[in-house]
Amino acid sequence: MGLFDLFKRKPEPEPEPPFYDIVCPFCFSKFTPDDVVFRAIHYREDDEDYALGEDEELNRYRERFGLDSVHDIEAVLDPRDVPEERRIYSDEVLIGLNDRYGEITRRRLCPRCHNELPVTAGKVPSNIISIIGASQVGKSVYMTSLIHTLQHTTADHFGAACMPLTTEISRKFRTLYEEPLFERGDLLASTQKEKMQEPFIFQFVFRDERKPPLTLVFFDVAGEGMVEQDYLSLHGQHIKNSAGILLLVDPLQIRSIRDRIRIQLGDAPGEWVSQYDEPRDVVLSLFGDFIAYQDNSKTDIPTAVVLTKSDMLHALKDEDGEYIKSNSNIFNNMVHRDYFNLNEFENIDGEIRRFIEKVDRPFKGTMDVYFKDTAYYAVSALGSNPVDQKMQTVVQPIRVDEPFIWLLYKLNYIEGRRD
């Protein structure tokens, strides 16, 4: 090292921007904080600008998801119609309006779909996590198991809380997903393509106020759409504007595994589906929709490849470990607490990479070509294989939160350490 090197100043960390672009967690449009509109907090019958009425943009969004229209709602106010001195800013982010009647509204809306935005929108990065995968991989079941685990254990392990964005989301998640699966052991029906599922929006809020909250948006796109280009284009917006992706792959999508498990299990009862989409087809659909337009035709969005239904891989294990070793880590739950365990990550990531390489090399090769930052995991959302749409034992998730914790690490919310 030369004398000059000793006196070279370390590069200063880049200053945080005064505001961040907002990604609407409902329709996934991207815009600046100055583009927001507001919902009035009162109405007047003597002023048509403030009268109750129909919000066409909001109802168009609600119709898309089979939700009832809202006929009488407060007016939408455009900041451009309000003098500059009546606009309220916080840290250079427009957060409120003082309307012509002296009433202050802080109800910021997405300019495209007119849903109300999170309070922190524009002040912190809009980090959205997308769950994607072909039909029958169990996205609804995984989402339910993951959120249940985040709320009951994982969040507390990282000094945080996982909360639904609205009481409506809380009620819907509990009654349609959590209670049927965790209290009654009923398997969830797969999402139908013609029945689009409204996003489930949760916030991962840290007790350390210096850490911004992380917005989790679980947009359960019907799996059939993942290999139909027109349908994917309609929903590709949310994938393109995601900060992280959980790409779910069912072992039974992979022909060599499917055939071997059939031989091992014979006619044992379980969930078998006659038609599966190959994992590579899903990736190729993603490529056509948005990855092809990225730099070097690759995406740098951190992507966790999540092999679901890992409990079924018991049928493949043996001492020689041709596919899976009898003492494999994938069958044991792992709890990360306070930090991301890098040793454990390297073990599980390496094992699943080698496994995928062996059983579906075209899929692995496609991932290597189109994704810059990947990790490989195996999870069981249920802990065992259901029979006739019914759990035979208590739901006991295995490693369901690990891919999400990896994304927390990649997005610099938590640190990684070695044992």
Instruction: Give SS3 for 325.
Output: strand
| 280 vs 226: CA distance, rounded Å | 11
Q: Is 59 helix (H, G, I), strand (E, B) or coil?
A: helix
What DSSP character marks residue 53?
A: B
Helix/strand/coil percentages in the chain, nearest 5: 35, 20, 45
Q: What does the pLDDT read at residue 223? A: 46
Residues of the chain whose pLDDT is less than 50? 1, 4, 6-11, 13, 192-194, 223, 225-227, 230, 267-274
Please report the beta strands in 11-159, taking only residues with DSSP state E, as ranges in sequence order: 22-23, 30-31, 37-39, 76-77, 87-90, 93-98, 104-105, 108-109, 129-133
* HSE value, Cβ hemisphere, 13 Å, CA-based, for 146: 26
pLDDT of residue 338: 93
Is residue 157 classed exposed, middle or buried when 0-12, 13-18 and 19+ CB atoms within 10 A define those classes?
middle
Nearest to residue 197, comparing CAs of 223, 164, 228, 165?
A: 223
- For 175-227, write each residue's pLDDT tens digit: 988 888 888 877 765 554 445 567 788 988 999 888 888 888 776 555 454 44
Q: How far apart are CA 180 and CA 147, in angstroms?
A: 14
pLDDT, position 402: 95
Per-residue confidence (pLDDT) for residue 136, from 0 to 100: 62
Delineate the domains of the chain, giving CATH numbers in brackets. 37-109 (no CATH), 129-417 (3.40.50.300)
Alpha-helical segments (H) within 150-228? 155-157, 167-173
User: What pLDDT is recorded for position 44?
Assistant: 94
Measured between alpha carbons, how far is 43 from 76 in angstroms, rounded to an integer?
11
Angle at which helices 342-359 and 361-370 cross, to 10°: 120
Q: Can you list the alpha helix ranges (DSSP code H) found in 133-198?
A: 139-149, 155-157, 167-173
Going by C-alpha positions, the residue among 308, 364, 355 that lies closest to residue 328 is: 355
Instruction: Please state, in angstroms and rounded to a whole number, the distance separating the CA atoms of residues 349 and 361.
Output: 16
Dist. CA 87–CA 25, nearest whole Å: 24
